[in-house]
Structure 1
Amino acid sequence: MEPSLPAGDQLGEERWVRSEDCVRPIFRFLKALLRLGYASRELSWTVVTERSQLVLKHDVVNPAHAGIHGFMGSAAKEFGGWDIRLIDVDDRLLVQMEDLFTVSLDSQGETWAYRNREWYRQRLIPVQSCEPSACLYRQNGVYVVIGGAGGIGEAWTEHMIRTYQAQVIWVGRRSKDEWIQDKLDRLAALGPEPLYIEADASKHTDLQRAYEQIKQRHTHIHGVIHSAIVLADQSLINMEEDRFNQVYSAKADVCVQMASVFEQETLDFVLFFSSIQSFARAPGQSNYSAGCTFKDAFAQSLSQEWSCPVKIVNWSYWGSFGIVVSKEYQERMAQAGVGSIEPSEAMRTLDILLGSPLNQLVLMKTTSQATRETNDAKEQVTVYPESSGVNLQNLRNNYKLGDQKKLQLIH
């Protein structure tokens, strides 16, 4: 059971500056068990966190322990003899110990949440949407993309330059070499050339210096995008702590520093590029899954603190852009029944996300019925534009008496 943390009623670097330490002890403990031979033994875990998941509308999220859910979810799939309960509670002092053990052990590493003496489980539900009713992008806007030189950041930048003549600033750890300059030259032919600033956004001094450079050029920044990623897949039995930290830091530490550096800006939006691994928690990706579940929870917490919209998109597989374009990975995805996201589809999804009341969307293309059935097809979310004139009374008339809870949600 992870120790309680103070309620998150003030945002700032101090609140999560040791966020990585909340996952590292679990990593070390698990590695110690593996050294003792527990990889091949039967083992049952019950892991409890407090307020790390957004379940009910008024939950106050503290993301510091959220990475544990991704980490342990991936571990559950790596070791066939391990069964794991992953539980998040609203106040562990109010939870009876026997209540925690009413949840069945699980080999898939999915999270349960306990709120007001009721159990909740996360599910993906298909979304149908009309045309976006609003757009948060603006012509000639100024946008900062952390990790922008990566494939997805580049695709987004191209869309923004073509469509909005946007001025995009990329912040990245890599020196501006020929590979990056070629990207900048290609995009410059379409409109305003992106600016590249070398900085490690996981370090406060680096990102603060980059921010000051941007402000010397631009009075206003209109949006910030967290697109940083490091992939270094490896089984936990072989993974060293440095490798874990390298991947986790690109997600978690960048979140913390981004909030600290940009909190005084009057932004139109903040956008977090996350991954389907927040939910899939694949074996061999415990470091990445931990970073993604932290990132999602951090964004949810930020949305409760900041006045601008804070949105999350969980990408599935990009086959033509991004960090996993190898033939080997393409074959793996094809066997799993997962299709490649193309840039036009991704930009359309972002338009829907930014122009709707939804705070989070998953984009995943499926090529097999078995993959489609992993989602909950019994329910569907439909997003209507505000001006659609939907008649709530007609909706009520079409529902049965047993659907009163759904009617309350619609209202």
Structure 2
Amino acid sequence: MALRALPPFKGAFLMTTEDRDLRTGRTYWQSRPMPAVPHRPLTRDVKADVLVVGAGISGALVAEALSDHHRVIVVDKRGPVMGSTPASTALVEYEIDTPLIDLSKQIGRVKAERAWRRSHLALHALAARTRALGIAADTRRTDNLYLAGSLLDADGIAAEAQARRQAGIETLFLDRRTLADRFGIKRPAALLAFDDLALDPRRLTSGFLNAAIERGTRVYAPTEITDVESGSDGVTATTANGRTIRAGAIVFATGYELPRYVPKRRHQVMSTYAIATVRQKQKPLPEDCFIWEASDPYLYLRSTPDGRVICGGEDEEFSDDEARDALIPQKTEAIRRKLGKMLPHIDTTPDFAWAGAFGSTPTGLPSIGAVPGLKNAWAVLGFGGNGITYSRIAADIINAALSGKSDPDADLYAFARTRAVR
């Protein structure tokens, strides 16, 4: 597929998206009640300042941020919180998948430090906003244990600790003996970071959608956008049932189902797997924390409020849902084996097992910003291991832009001015 510079675009285009089966299996979060999100199908033509396409976590955070000063409409072809959000393992971190020392080699130290600091700031802002809105999402601050692995050995972990501290992000280096004594884990070294966020992703998303609704946001679902006409005076979206939505701007927050005209270069949709164990009879760890590895692919885990362990990993570089789903039994056993090796004292029997779509980029950074060549259109590709944190960054960047301001870090995530030639 060739790429060419994208010229200014004005006119109509088909709003076709990559139709994916985003998850399979029953996730742990689906076993827990979630506040209802008022919504209805679109049966008449409507107007708004901003149209947000997607009612998952990205759309929810964007809509809530915009609803302070804009009339917002949210649409989703399935329904609120019915896409990939329930498949999240909800280790909400500021840590980027790409270590700071490696990201510095890819984009330069100054930009890499900015990206890490912005993720750090965004996570704290998300926690504060959740608390300010009174959203009950089982949120709690938790530390983060980053184990030496195939990407970073003990020396690499030490270098990463130093780089983070130089960037103003506090972390603690643990050598082999300290790690074993404190956490009972046998690895050459680890980093202990502080104040990440554990939460229920469905409750968080419904909470932010409902906060936006209280300020006048309307949610229409199931409603699928099929065509969009874009111009200097705004956008007109047409739905599958022939209704129109006129808005000053459109924001694509469609997760792993990307609209045709949103650049996909550097973005890969993959498959990932997760389990939630039976309730443990004893505390899984001496100290409650997230755990993940400096490896590719990596194992990651957390505890739940009712004493289970959620563990994910075993990523595959394909997105075909049939091939993905066929591997669920095999991947479940592989995750159980690795989890049991890391924490021999726990019961790895799964009560829940699921598979889902997962996005990645070479840098571990998302793409957020104006869609090149498409007037008044914005997109959120919050790919990577900390997509919920990236969704908060997206809300900040888009809210600033649509309010006539600029975000100081918008350049870190902007789309390149290219598009696929079909």
Same fold, TM exceeding 0.5?
Answer: no
Q: What is the TM-score normalised by the length of structure 1?
A: 0.28
Structure with greater proportional strand content: 2
Name the structure, 1 or 2, with higher relative contact order (CA <8 Å, separation 6+): 2
Q: Is the helix fraction higher in 1 or 2? A: 1
